[in-house]
Chains A and B, each alone.
Chain A
């Protein structure tokens, strides 16, 4: 059984998200800042008439901030019925990964903070960290997020 993953870049690392969980990929468009929102929420944006919150994955992963480039993209995912945009450095490709090439995450690194890591995939000698973006936020954070768009 093969799975398809959308590969994106943050800093120099490649991450993979199961394609089924991805709604779409859009270019960075105007983001409206919102008051009283969690630090990692960039703001809200209008996605074809639907208002979605935008989360900066760099902030979420405690990576240094960078300037937006022409490769910067927003990955739109559904999280518990709420659509949300994740800002990433670039989306490079969609790959098919045979199940055999996916390793479960090492128990060494699996903690509450890294629960969203679903595995490590080997693609052409590259190591890709597979994420479940719907788990990137904690329950409380998701409620926050719902409050943002409500």
Chain B
């Protein structure tokens, strides 16, 4: 397991982290992009909207203000032309003048009197002082008061244009009766406007003056003035009215579209406000100075919008422009605090930020949840896989509920989980199987999941192999055990037997030694007797023995010779046979050699022939080359012939015609001559014959008029040669009166029937006329064809040459093939010749070798024959010798018979004794040998027993080991039963051996009844498999008893109580037998059940 797998993955590398990141990126990236773009767009749009709003407000207000002032100026103009006012003005001037005149006052003094009457009494129409002024005032005031009220003016003035006296006002303020030319009011706004209007002679003039502080309270006042003319154009006075500021303030303070912080205000050229601020509780009119960037720009005549600070130092969005009113240099500003103007943007931004925060929160939460949902099962799977990787199929430490949840999902992870569960199941199954096998139970069966289930298949194979192996081992062990048991028994028996034999032999040896001794003594005595007798017999005996020896020798010789003779004969016949065989072989080989020789000769002949053939074919090749060459030459010649023919043909076509023409001229001449010679009638038939005879196609003879009178062709008779010089036949006419000359025409269509003819003409010689002969075109071409025919022939020749060249090529190819084949054949022949030569030489060698053998064999045969003959001779000689010796021997025998008989008795006795001694000595030696051998054997038997014992132990151990493997129920029992049986039978022999003193047993040697092989099985697997089986249960008691008894027996024996120990023996035997019988019963039952 790598360190990485053990560690917790860093968040960024983990699937959860990646999923989270992916979700966030996928969800938020577009959101952010869209948000930013939307925000930006919205901001721009909102900004534009705010600005546009401000501009429209500004422009509306401008329009309103402008129209207001224009209206007022128009009002002044209209009022100044009002006939009532014109009359009023004229009357006022007259009244003031007349009253002054009457009272002897100046008009100003007179006005002061009126002022005293009317000042500050705005509602007084007629003071009823009886003055004309009052009468007029009464009429005017009612009307003008109405006008002021209706127009909304502050005041209305009627001023004398000449005197500059304010002759009438509606409001009757301080300015009533003032002298605007010279008085204190001359410098006021009113004075200024009066002077402007009074100086104008334009009846349509009207003007306005800017606001300025005016009157006792220095309130802002603006005046509009227009001069009043009478119908004659005389300037009577000036109409002035004071504009109210309320209307302007009302216009400016109208806050529609300006929300909370927006305001519009007017400023004059002095940068003082011309309207009251909406936000100021005090009047700002002509008080508040506006010296801001936008105000300055507006006064400069610019129009625009800008972000700037207003007069109060606040950040505002300011829209400004100048106001177009004649006489006023004003500007208008519409301003709204930037904070409010762009509050929608700020709100939108805040909203977007909040939405972003909410969406991010949702996305984070959602993606964390989804990522968790996906990675949780993976964590569980990983944990499970890790456990599985360390072999823990029980998945220790893995939350089962979580795992179950992960595995039971219905998505892909669920499928993976399910597959994983199957894997765990598989793993568990395999682990259980392995566990079972580890426990020694090989009966487990594993079904491979598929043919690709390497693990399962291997497992299965392993179990099968193991089962087979253990079965085999078990069988082998059993076999070994039985065999070693048997060996032990046999060895023990044979040990005992050899012991017995050894003992017996030793006894015999002792006896035989004694016997030998006594016999030797007797023998010695007899020897002495014999010696005496021998002295007597010696002479005769020597003679007899000499004869005997001679006879024996001759007999032996005879035997030898006979053997030799027989052998010789045999070998002679053998060698004769060999010689015969060799000879036959030699003959065969000789025949073979001869055959080979013949073949060789034949082959050589054939090779020679073929080589000759090769040479010939080479020659033929040369011939073919020559043919080819000739063919090529012929071809060339043919081509040249064709060329020559063609050239000649072309060349001579003209010549032929010339020639033909000349020929015809000659023939025509001959005809002319003929006609001179043969006067008279010439029938057409004559000409035809003549034409036929001379090969001329047409003959025509004319009279002196050029008319054909004779012709072989009757149809031409009467034809007259035309006199038209353009006619082709005209030429011939020329000949009529000539004595010499000829006309030769080339082939052309004759005029009479259009046939192609070549005509030649000569003058007649007998009288004027023409002799004309013609050749038909076919005749001409035949003529030419004869020359052309040569070309045809040449072509044929060329074709023939080509053919022959082709044939020659084919032949050359064929011959080349033959040459190759022949070369191959020659090579093959050479090869076979060589092989035949080798064969021949080999056969020769074999023949000579055989010959040699034959010679040798014959030599041997001859020699053997010689030997045989010699042997035969020798034999007969020996026979003869034998006979003579026998004769001598017979005499000697007779001589010695007596002595022999004498000595015979003694010798016989001595011999007997001697032989007895020797025999008994031999006997003793043999017995000693036997004894030694028996001893050795005994020792070996003991070793064998020991070995057999250890072998038996090993076999038992093996069986015990094998028995741990549970092959099939009962099978291991069958394997072990025999061992159990033996183990408990052994106790009988062991106890017997102990009691016989041949074996030492200690209590430790005797195991507890649960610890011996049977006990281990009985209380272990046996209990599991056969716990309730009767034959099995029956086994327990005797087994326990046996162990107890044997232990007691050994204890008794070792404590010296041999008698008591011996008393146990029958019990041991019977218990052992009982156990064995139970085991037998079990075995039988199990075998049957199998």
Contacts and interface: CB of A to CB of B under 8 A. Distances in A.
Interface of A: 4, 6, 19-20, 22-27, 70-71, 73, 91, 93-94
Interface stretch (B275-283, B363-371, B392-400, B642-650): B642-650
B646 A4 contact: yes
Interface string B637-681: 001101110110010000000000000000000000000000000
A69 to B, nearest CB: 11
A94 to B, nearest CB: 4
A25 B640 contact: yes
Interface of B: 632, 636, 639-640, 642-644, 646-647, 650, 791, 795, 798
A12 B636 CA distance: 20
A94 B642 contact: yes
Nearest to B640: A24
Given A94-B795, A94-B798, A73 B636 contact: yes
B647 A91 contact: no
Given A93-B798, A94-B798, A6 B639 contact: yes
B636 A26 contact: yes
A26 B637 CA distance: 9
13 contacts: A6-B643, A19-B643, A19-B647, A22-B643, A22-B647, A24-B644, A25-B640, A25-B643, A26-B636, A93-B639, A93-B798, A94-B643, A94-B646
A23 B636 contact: no
Contacts of A6: 639, 642-643
Contacts of A73: 636
A132 B731 CA distance: 40
Given A20-B647, A94-B646, A94-B795, A25 B639 contact: yes
B642 A4 contact: yes
B650 A91 contact: no
A104 B650 CA distance: 23
B644 to A, nearest CB: 8
Shortest 8 CB-CB contacts between residues of A and residues of B: A19-B646, A94-B642, A4-B646, A20-B650, A22-B643, A25-B639, A24-B640, A19-B643
Contacts of A22: 643, 647
A19 B636 contact: no
B798 A27 contact: no
B636 A25 contact: yes
A13 to B, nearest CB: 19
A73 B639 CA distance: 11
Contacts of A93: 639, 798
Contacts of B644: 24
Contacts of A4: 642, 646, 791
B799 to A, nearest CB: 9
Nearest to A23: B643
A37 B85 CA distance: 135
A60 to B, nearest CB: 21
Contacts of B650: 20
B314 to A, nearest CB: 94
A91 B646 contact: no
Contacts, number: 38
Contacts of B795: 94
A6 B643 CA distance: 8
Contacts of A25: 636, 639-640, 643
Contact of B639 (A70, A71, A94): A94
A4 B645 CA distance: 11
Nearest to A26: B636
A144 to B, nearest CB: 27
Given A22-B643, A27-B636, A71-B632, 16 more contacts: A4-B642, A19-B642, A19-B643, A19-B646, A20-B650, A22-B647, A23-B643, A24-B643, A24-B644, A25-B640, A26-B636, A91-B639, A93-B798, A94-B643, A94-B795, A94-B798
B646 A20 contact: yes
A6 B640 CA distance: 10
A71 B635 CA distance: 11
Nearest to A17: B643
A94 B642 CA distance: 7
A84 B642 CA distance: 19
Nearest to B642: A94
Contacts of A24: 640, 643-644
Most buried by B among A26, A91, A93: A93
Contacts of A26: 636
Contacts of A71: 632
B681 to A, nearest CB: 46
B111 to A, nearest CB: 125
Contacts of B639: 6, 25, 91, 93-94
Nearest to A7: B639
A94 B650 CA distance: 15
Contacts of A94: 639, 642-643, 646, 795, 798
Contacts of B636: 25-27, 73, 91
A70 B791 CA distance: 25
Nearest to A19: B646
A93 B791 CA distance: 13
B584 to A, nearest CB: 69
A27 B791 CA distance: 21
A50 to B, nearest CB: 16
Nearest to A5: B646
Query: Which one of B640, B642, B643, B644 has the highest number of Cβ atoms from chain A below 10 Å of its Cβ?
Result: B643
A73 B642 CA distance: 16
Contacts of A20: 646-647, 650
A20 B632 CA distance: 23
Nearest to B646: A19
A22 to B, nearest CB: 5
Nearest to B791: A4
Interface centre among B639, B640, B650, B791 (most CB of A within 10 A): B639
A94 B791 CA distance: 10
Interface-centre pick from A20, A70, A73, A94 (highest chain B CB count, 10 A): A94
A70 B809 CA distance: 13
A93 B632 CA distance: 12
Residue in A4, A26, A71 with the greatest tally of chain B CB atoms within 10 Å: A4
Contacts of B632: 70-71
A105 to B, nearest CB: 23
Interface centre among B632, B646, B798, by most A CB within 10 Å?
Answer: B646
A73 B638 CA distance: 14
B317 to A, nearest CB: 84
Contacts of A91: 636, 639
A69 B184 CA distance: 146
A26 B791 CA distance: 18
A141 to B, nearest CB: 25
B1011 to A, nearest CB: 110
B398 to A, nearest CB: 87
Contacts of B642: 4, 6, 19, 94
A89 to B, nearest CB: 14
A94 B793 CA distance: 12
A4 to B, nearest CB: 5
A93 B646 CA distance: 13
Nearest to A71: B632
Contacts of B643: 6, 19, 22-25, 94
A93 to B, nearest CB: 7
A27 B636 CA distance: 8
A79 B854 CA distance: 98
B781 to A, nearest CB: 12
Nearest to B638: A94
Contacts of B640: 24-25
A138 to B, nearest CB: 26
Nearest to A91: B639
B615 to A, nearest CB: 25
Contacts of B791: 4
Nearest to B637: A25
A82 to B, nearest CB: 17
A92 to B, nearest CB: 9
Nearest to B650: A20
